[in-house]
Amino acid sequence: MDIKGAIPPREPLTLQGAAGISEIYIETGLLGRAGKAMLDVFSPSRVHIVTDSTVAPLYLETLAQQFTLPVSSTVIPAGEEHKRLSTVEGIYHDLLAAGMTRKDLIIALGGGVVGDITGFAAATFLRGVSLCQIPTTLLAQVDSSVGGKTGVDLDEGKNLVGAFYQPRLVLIDPEVLKTLPDTTFADGMAEVVKYGYIANPAILEMVSQPDYKAHIGDVIYECVKIKRDVVAIDEHDTGLRMILNFGHTVGHAVEKLGNYTELTHGQAVAIGMVAAMRLSALRGDADLSAPLITLLQQLGLPTELTHDREAIFHALLSDKKKFGSTVNFILVREPGRAEITPIEAETLHEYILKL
């Protein structure tokens, strides 16, 4: 990933959650100043950093050496398959061995997996310890590090156990994206495109430019602003927050059908967004799928639904966003405006067969 250009420091975005405020800083080179940024806000006696086996050799030392107080760490194996309760338990043991108390600080340094696990550990260890998120993937920077959703997977499904727990501080440094593999970067871009379609078409304009990576900090800023605004209205995911699932209903279905190995999450969301657009057209709205497909392809993402439609429908029905006999589908009828649309299962079945 070639990240050129730099964005100047600017005022943090703030998110007022029910249990307290979350401040989100987005600045190039911020990882190198993260220790100071944290000590301006927290007064811990010690800090514990959780990261994964890929991120640790890249950035753990850079962060750890900025503290003069005791620093301990847990390095978990990289990968979604480790987003489990057993990993959280390992973190609890490390926290106790390090002598961490409720006054201390836990830092999540990594992608969405590290962020979700560490957030859950911070929410539950001693009934809650201060948390700072330092997201290192594009997906984590534009989405998972903001908003306070934490959790782990069970055999029965993803994210089935968790807590809402706002990080007091989120430090986003776009420069760390330079070490991301291209496919992982493209995964995050699917979420970026999602934000453009659900709330701000200017984002689509920005990422359509050939040099958009030079301005990725600005793109991240615009996306985080949307996430912040949505979460501020619906922190506990009972209504509006559902619009963040544009592309995720069919996306989750194809991800599941591919046993979570055939497609990455971002690839599945890209395919899911195109399917949602086609579904809108089937309902009689304007067909907005062509420009979406062009953009996704430009960004290196797939767009075609290849799975059996019947299988997709059944996978989709077992998804947790189904209420009674209707499925809440997120539709975009004009770029920048998403609608939560309940669709009868039977009607949805007909649409899916036609996709």
Ligand X SMILES: NC(=O)c1ccc[n+]([C@@H]2O[C@H](COP(=O)([O-])OP(=O)(O)OC[C@H]3O[C@@H](n4cnc5c(N)ncnc54)[C@H](O)[C@@H]3O)[C@@H](O)[C@H]2O)c1
Task: Give the burial string for 85-101 (b: 16+ CB within 10 Å, else e).
Answer: eebbebbeebbeebebe
Q: Does residue 83 bind ligand X (CB under 6 A)?
A: yes
Q: CA 225 from chain center: how many Å?
A: 14
Q: Which is nearer to ligand X, 117 or 348 (CB)?
A: 117
Whether the CB-CB separation of 258 and 338 falls below 8 Å is answered with no
Q: Does residue 136 bind ligand X (CB under 6 A)?
A: yes
Distance CA 46, CA 95 (A): 10
Distance CA 14, CA 25 (A): 9
Q: Does residue 140 bind ligand X (CB under 6 A)?
A: yes
Q: Which is nearer to ligand X, 180 or 199 (CB)?
A: 180
Q: Which is nearer to ligand X, 27 or 143 (CB)?
A: 143
For every residue of 191-234, DSSP letters joined together read HHHHHHHHT-HHHHHHHHSTTGGGGHHHHHHHHHHHHHHHHHH-
Distance CA 327, CA 315 (A): 12
Q: Which is nearer to ligand X, 250 or 288 (CB)?
A: 250
Q: Does residue 114 bind ligand X (CB under 6 A)?
A: yes
- One of 33, 42, 62, 78 touching ligand X (CB under 6 A): 78
Whether the CB-CB separation of 245 and 275 falls below 8 Å is answered with no
Binders in 249-308 for ligand X, by CB under 6 A: none
Say how many CA atoms lie within 13 Å of 83 toward its Cβ: 23
Q: Does residue 176 bind ligand X (CB under 6 A)?
A: yes
Binders in 16-55 for ligand X, by CB under 6 A: 52, 54-55
Q: Does residue 174 bind ligand X (CB under 6 A)?
A: no
Q: Does residue 166 bind ligand X (CB under 6 A)?
A: no
Q: Does residue 180 bind ligand X (CB under 6 A)?
A: yes
- One of 143, 173, 222, 255 touching ligand X (CB under 6 A): 143
Token duo for residue 289: 């799928």
Q: Which is nearer to ligand X, 139 or 327 (CB)?
A: 139
DSSP assigned state of 236: T
Interface with ligand X (CB under 6 A), residue total: 28
Binders in 181-240 for ligand X, by CB under 6 A: 184, 187
Q: Which is nearer to ligand X, 316 or 348 (CB)?
A: 316
Q: Does residue 137 bind ligand X (CB under 6 A)?
A: yes
Whether the CB-CB separation of 58 and 31 falls below 8 Å is answered with no
Q: Supply the minimum distance, in Å, between the C-beta of residue 353 and ligand X.
A: 29
Residue partners of 201: CB distance under 8 A and separation at least 6: 335, 336
Binding site for ligand X (CB under 6 A): 52, 54-55, 58, 78, 80, 83, 110-114, 116, 136-137, 139-140, 143-144, 147, 149, 158-159, 176, 179-180, 184, 187
